[in-house]
Structure 1
Amino acid sequence: MGQIRDFWLPELRSLGVKWVKVYNHDGAYDFVEALLAEGFCPILRIFRPHPNPGRLSIKDLVDVDTYVRIGVRYFEFNNEPDRDAEWKGGWVPANGIDIVVEDAIADMDAILTRGGMPGIPSVSCGSKWDLIGKIIEKGHRDLLEGPVWQAIHNYSRNRPLDYPYDLGNQEGAAYTQRFYRTLLEEQPNFDPWHGRSLSEINQMRRDFANPGATIQDDTACWLAYEFFNARNRRHLGRSIPILSTENGYRVGENTDPRYPATTPDLHMAQTLEACRVMMGVSQRFNPA
């Protein structure tokens, strides 16, 4: 804990960080106490290797009680339940969303009863699973009137922060020779263009442009929070808090071949701009 107190907490503060996600692993209690003492807001993930199907155990609920007593309020209890890897047995059954929502209703109620604020589980990046719609369908709209929030995983992949509204996706705008060469000259340990020439990349951008595309068409991007907020407003007539508990750029990622793989320099620039967006000081994009 010494290094955390002496180096990491001051470093986080200097970066303007206010929220820290923590797993309830061994040693988490002391870490969370230190965060709270320094004015950070922890989000506690109740970790279970394969949480679906299943509900919080007695031990998990004891953890909730313990952390509520020291001041933790935000709790995350499930993770991407639309993915096979999050299920015992390794596959999502056909009625998976119904099972997940029934378990979530019970877990959210248990956390609320203990004074915590449960997060509606995040689905995987790009998923259209509608957990809030299912909660309402099952007659538990009242649960959403309490102090609940929604977790999302808005990974940017290798797409720009304004995707799907960027000119590359909307119009197939061409990259310049200068930009193409700049990434090559960065010399990461991979080819950011995967062997494609500038003309090949630009042809691909023209061929696969999506004029008029909106966030309703593709949510696998940074702006996924706009999609979830719009859907929540349709369901509830209002917004609920949305917290991104996983996201960010990954060096080497090349999900969308119309864009370069994320180089270290691109990672730095895009991450800095994402932070500016979250702090409301970006000169290029609207605040999150």
Structure 2
Amino acid sequence: MEVQIFLVFLACLSPVLATTNSTVPLVMWHGMGDSCCNPLSLGHIQTLIEKEVPGIYVRSLEIGDGIVEDTTNGFLLNVNKQVEMACQKIKSDPKLANGYNSMGFSQGGQFLRTVAQRCPSPPMFNLISVGGQHQGVFGFPRCPGASVSLCDYMRKLLNLGAYISFVQDNLVQAEYWQDPLNEAEYRQKSIYLADINQENKVNETYKTNLQKLKKFVMVMFGNDTMVQPKESEWFGFYKAGQDKEVYTLQESPLYTQDKLGLKAMDKQGKLVFLTSPTDHLQFTETWFVQNLVPYIK
């Protein structure tokens, strides 16, 4: 009888022990020209994380059916649809039901921020944006990996006009294209970035949800030759009417008017600004482990 009682006690206690001793899961989202599971990029990073944080569950988001579709969708699938897909994948994963940390690389950084703003359940605890372009971009000097043909197609469409409805609906990079020389058209016709950055009507839900984060970590690459301007990785951008002088997050209306709650988060110590003195996504394993892994342990 005593043995049976003891076994029942252990059965009741085991969920508590699992919750206490388990690590927080991690959701990752890749950047342009990459895929969820490339062994030379996110696959390698996942292996590194699993080595540094034993027992961690890592869900690297695959947007589409297979690696090829996942890669092309990073160029050609409407961002709002991608975010819907990501939210559904996260919500339907039982291993993420109690919450998770997230890490986005390049455009995956602002996409995961959108998940935090639009899909608060299950809860996201820490958001790590590695080179994410939170104020968008104005220029594409080069493209990563072996995506030359897709990059050429992208440039042709952007040259046609980033704010033409067909381009906005069908080219991911146009959806976070911010033209400082024509801000009115950007605010009027941007179907993604202008929405998540509260450029027009303020969505209080976005603001409330983002402030639920414990930490919002932003990595800027000091010698970035891909993102223009690189300060977008810290919510900076070109001042209106030109493309040379850059304002900081703290100087932006997004901050001064606290449209997303970033000012409040900054005062609470929730915003973390990190720099890697390298080109876009060209960090070392040592830098990654020392600077980013502490936020997912």
Query: Which TM-score band (shorter chain)?
Result: 0.3 to 0.5
> Which has the larger share of helix?
2
Bigger Rg, which one:
1
TM, length-normalised to structure 2: 0.34
TM-score, normalised via structure 1 length: 0.35
**Higher RCO (Cα < 8 Å, 6 or more apart):** 2
